[in-house]
Amino acid sequence: MRRIVYKELLRWKEKNERKPLIVYGARQVGKTWLLKEFGANEYRNVAYLNFDSTPEAKNLFADYDTARLIRAFSALTGVSIQAGETLVILDEIQEVPAALTALKYFCEEASEYHIAAAGSLLGIEIHSGSGFPVGKVDEIDMYPLSFEEFLMALEKDVLVQQLKEYRWDQLQAVMRVYTEALRQYYYVGGMPEVVKEYVANQDLAATRKIQKQILADYRRDFSKHIPADLLPKVRLVWDSLGVQLAKENKKFIYGALKKGARAKDFEDAIEWLSNAGLVHKVNRVSKVEKPLKFYEDSSAFKLYCLDLGLLGAMVDVPAKDVLVKNDAFTEYKGAFTEQYVFQEMLVHGLHPYYYSRENSTLEIDFVFQKDRLYMVEVKAEENLRSKSLKTLHEADVKAVALRLSMADYRVQEWLTNVPLSFAGEWVEQCE
């Protein structure tokens, strides 16, 4: 299974000022597999140490003598650790907070060793205060598979290559193939274990069963990591994701959790889920102008799930609604299409905002900033009306206007329409 983030690991390996690495990500997004694959391909050998399944490892950190720790890692793994030739993988590092602290000393005193840590955000965030090696580690974020990675898992490399040639106006004849693959991605999502099962057997029932198991694992994690007084609130927020995104106006509404609910009652629950990487918060901006951060309004936001397929499993979307029906992309008020576009942005390093105008129906689904400003309207169909984009364009807003829809690629005078299947590639190449 090929992952785009592999290129970042290669860059880390070759850095002159390389620090110990922490790979962040929610549980089961493939962090351990990726590091093992990277080590097997790029190093002479790999010393893999799992702090959750190796009790002896939990008592290693009476002090932070890096030479002694390397000897201990070698003894526990049975691997001779050589600087620059061995990748040391410290897995489930959140189980031993002192191991996180030790990364600081490897950075300062033994940077010749290539050390990569992985662990659940559920635990790492808990220990991100005292003892965390701030400024002494390199960091990489990892997410579920993108649509491009899903195509590669399906061995549809030709489709990926065609996208990367950027001659999108010549792909109308094969749009049906992209759309069919996107339907599958809507149902399967990007969790590696789910994708692996689907690719191997094309068994929809087995695919959904694994999605349900992952969701059940997350709920067990809630009970393990969350204080008893916070647990019911976290579950309420988590269980409301589908309802929140199915609304016409996808702004998060506290009243949808329970009658009379207020922000102060649930802010800590949302923060916990966000820190764990299970939800992503997209704040509103009150103006589409550089720098967007100046106009951020954190009191109004949308909340997205970590994975499209898991969202479908949470609300029990039938396979036929996604894979067969002609209106698959418009079901549930476009909730899945907006979730999909958000994930494509996230995996390419963007964390967008959304824009809305007070006391008005005017809203832009996503706004983000690179060298230029971009306004993105998401259409879960071939509907080419873009009233909000047009209004802001006529108001002389200095931003590139983009519409993502099921229509063919076309460049208009003030607006570019990009097929949904091309969303990630378009985001990656924009300036």
Q: What is the mean pLDDT of each run of 10 residues along the chain (431 residues)?
A: 95 96 94 97 97 90 95 97 97 89 95 92 56 86 97 96 91 92 96 98 96 95 89 95 87 91 93 93 95 95 96 91 71 82 94 89 93 92 77 89 92 91 91 75
Length of the chain as a residue count: 431
Cα(135)–Cα(415) distance, rounded to whole angstroms?
A: 42
**Does one domain contain both 365 and 400?**
yes
- Last residue of some domain: 141, 168, 198? 141
**Does one domain contain both 210 and 296?**
yes
**Does one domain contain both 87 and 193?**
no
CATH number, domain at 16? 3.40.50.300
**Does one domain contain both 94 and 175?**
no
**Does one domain contain both 192 and 100?**
no
pLDDT at site 328: 61
- Last residue of some domain: 109, 141, 173? 141
Q: Is residue 103 part of a domain?
A: yes
pLDDT at site 289: 94
Q: Is residue 304 part of a domain?
A: yes
Q: Is residue 364 part of a domain?
A: yes
Q: Is residue 1 part of a domain?
A: no
**Does one domain contain both 67 and 159?**
no
- Last residue of some domain: 141, 163, 185? 141
Angle at which helix 335-347 crosses helix 175-188, to 10 degrees, equals 90
Q: Which domain holds residue 61?
A: 6-141
Q: Is residue 63 part of a domain?
A: yes
Structure pTM? 0.93
pLDDT at site 331: 63
Question: Residue 114: CA atoms inside 13 Å, Cβ hemisphere, count?
Answer: 25
- Looking at the structure of the chain, the number of domains it has is 2
pLDDT at site 384: 66
Which residues does 338 contact at the CB level (< 8 Å), separation at least 6? Answer: 245, 250, 304, 365, 378, 380
pLDDT at site 124: 61
**Does one domain contain both 171 and 121?**
no
